[in-house]
Amino acid sequence: MQSWFRPLAIAVAASLPLVAQANDRLSVYAWAEYLPDSVLTDFTKETGVRVDYATFDSNEALYAKLKLLQTSGASESYDLIFPSSYMLSKMAREGMLTPLDKSKLPHLEQLEPSLLDREFDPGNRFSVPYAFGSTAIAVNRDELADAEITSWQDLWSGQWQGQLMLTDDIRENFQMALLTLGHSANSREPAEIKAAYDKLVTLQDNVLLYNSDNPRMPYVAGEVSLGLIWSDQAYKTQQDGMPLEYVYPEEGAIFWVDSAAIPANAKSVDAAHQFIDFLMRPEIAARIIQELGIAVPNQGAKALLPAEVADNQVLFPSGDIVAKGHFQDDLGDEVLAVYEEHWVRLRSN
């Protein structure tokens, strides 16, 4: 993802976070199209805390930047980050995060209980869930009106040569391949990981591009009509009027949870707590859902949504779809290194 930065009254972020008086400015490192400008502006108006916002395009990029800042003695730091569940576990294990002060988070009670106290952060010691969603298959029905796409395996069909877009994400690509082989989406077995790599190699002739910067844009621009997409991006594209079908594959979709967490070297810890609690207010969470199409696990917010949003199966899938899906587990450093080795080989071909 190309780094892009918020305009308006929000401070412009550089490639590294800014050094500022603690709690006067908040340095946020997050995904693109992840926090509405209006929410950031309103937080600044209410608290006087200016928000510097920079983006990353993968959990691995987030980890690498944060690790560099924490081990190099740099004076810069980020105050708030939004890792996915498996990366959150890794960061907590390596001492990269600050424990949360729950007394400063009165709106924590608004969150969906089923996403609290999960295995990736027992007791929510280091994080609170901000967003959840899935990765599944996008089909532009203007271009592929009659295409029968029901499974991950369908993407391997020779008719899609040079036509697919995949997310530029290690875990999602390997999970997709593992599921087509009948293996666990969170396999720790080297032989199964190698088999998934071999399976992905056979898909390369069908792949036109990888994109995790803004995965909906290649569909909107007409570059591709079939491939992977995140649920929030699919929803936003549909709301813009494009007939993009979001297909939950027969093998099960890939589900993820992104959480708000405070780095161990954060300067503005109090402001970070303020902002986390601000995001958990039902009216703020409802605005995020409606403006960005991000599924925020906030019970109070869902009650404020129009029925057509609250009942939307892209944003809020049924229990059956979730039960059939596969959440991303923390695999541990040794296993992740095996995935990374194969991923580098795959992407360098």
Are 152 and 289 members of one domain? Answer: no
pLDDT by residue for the chain (349 residues), tens only, comes to 333 233 333 333 434 454 444 669 999 999 988 999 999 999 999 999 999 999 998 898 999 999 999 999 888 899 999 999 999 999 999 999 999 999 999 999 999 898 899 889 999 999 999 999 999 999 999 999 999 999 999 999 999 999 999 999 999 999 999 999 999 999 999 999 999 999 999 999 999 999 988 899 999 999 999 999 999 899 999 999 999 999 999 999 999 999 999 999 999 999 999 999 999 999 999 999 998 888 999 999 999 999 999 999 999 998 899 889 998 888 988 999 999 999 999 999 8
Question: How many domains, in total, are found in the chain?
Answer: 2
Are 231 and 211 members of one domain? Answer: yes
Are 236 and 182 members of one domain? Answer: yes
Tokens representing residue 275 in the block: 């902002």
Are 107 and 195 members of one domain? Answer: no
Residue 244 lies in a domain: yes
Are 145 and 218 members of one domain? Answer: yes
Are 121 and 246 members of one domain? Answer: no
We report the CATH number of the domain holding residue 287 as 3.40.190.10
| Annotated binding-site members for spermidine | 33, 86, 169-172, 328
| Full residue range of the structural domain in which residue 300 is found | 25-131+257-313
Tokens 């498996």 belong to residue:
86
Query: Could you tell me the pTM of the whole model?
Result: 0.79
| Annotated binding-site members | 33, 86, 169-172, 328
Are 265 and 251 members of one domain? Answer: no
Calculate the CA dihedral of residues 235, 250, 188, 87 and round it to 10 degrees: 10
- Tell me the sheet residues that pair with 131: 258
Cβ atoms of 186 and 329 within 8 Å: the answer is yes
Tokens representing residue 237 in the block: 């594209």
Cβ atoms of 297 and 129 within 8 Å: the answer is yes
| pLDDT at residue 94 in the model | 95
